[in-house]
Amino acid sequence: MRVARRSLLVSAVALALLALGGCGASEQDQVRAKMSQFVTATASRDYKALCGQVLAPALLARLAAANVPCEQAMRIALSSVRSPVLSIARITVTGDSATAITLSGARGQQGSIDSIGFVKTSHGWRVASLGSITPLARAPQHK
């Protein structure tokens, strides 16, 4: 338990340092840091961080328009996600928007190739959209 907490603390400190040093970081580095924060918040079920620091204002507005509190929506959407992993294949930044092509998965779930959209806000990069390009085929199970 202490190792997990220590690992989480080290990740949080690293993200804080990236955020503080963001002025000198490239746009791609800043998007990469936001993706790392997204995965860390998802893994630790930190719905407050997801809603307050990761998701784009337009996504939050859509939830509010539907009268669904963000933290409740995240709790429901991520309830089955265990041990998420994300590998970045490519990040493309064009002005105030960015797209990351990733390979993602979680324990007990089929992996997929995803496109994650980002928008640059006054508070930095935020996740604007999540979309699966294609699920990965599972290898046949031998009995």
pTM, entire model = 0.73
Look at domain 2-135 and name its CATH class.
alpha beta
Residues 44-58: tens digit of each pLDDT:
999 999 999 999 999
d(CA 33, CA 11): 11
Per-residue pLDDT of the chain (143 residues; tens, 9 = 90+): 444 444 444 344 344 434 444 456 899 999 999 999 999 999 999 999 999 999 999 999 999 999 999 999 999 988 888 888 889 999 999 999 999 999 988 888 888 899 999 999 999 999 999 887 766 555 555 55
Residues 123-139: tens digit of each pLDDT:
999 999 988 776 655 55
Residue 124 gets the label, from left (phi > 0), alpha (psi -120 to 50) or beta, of: left
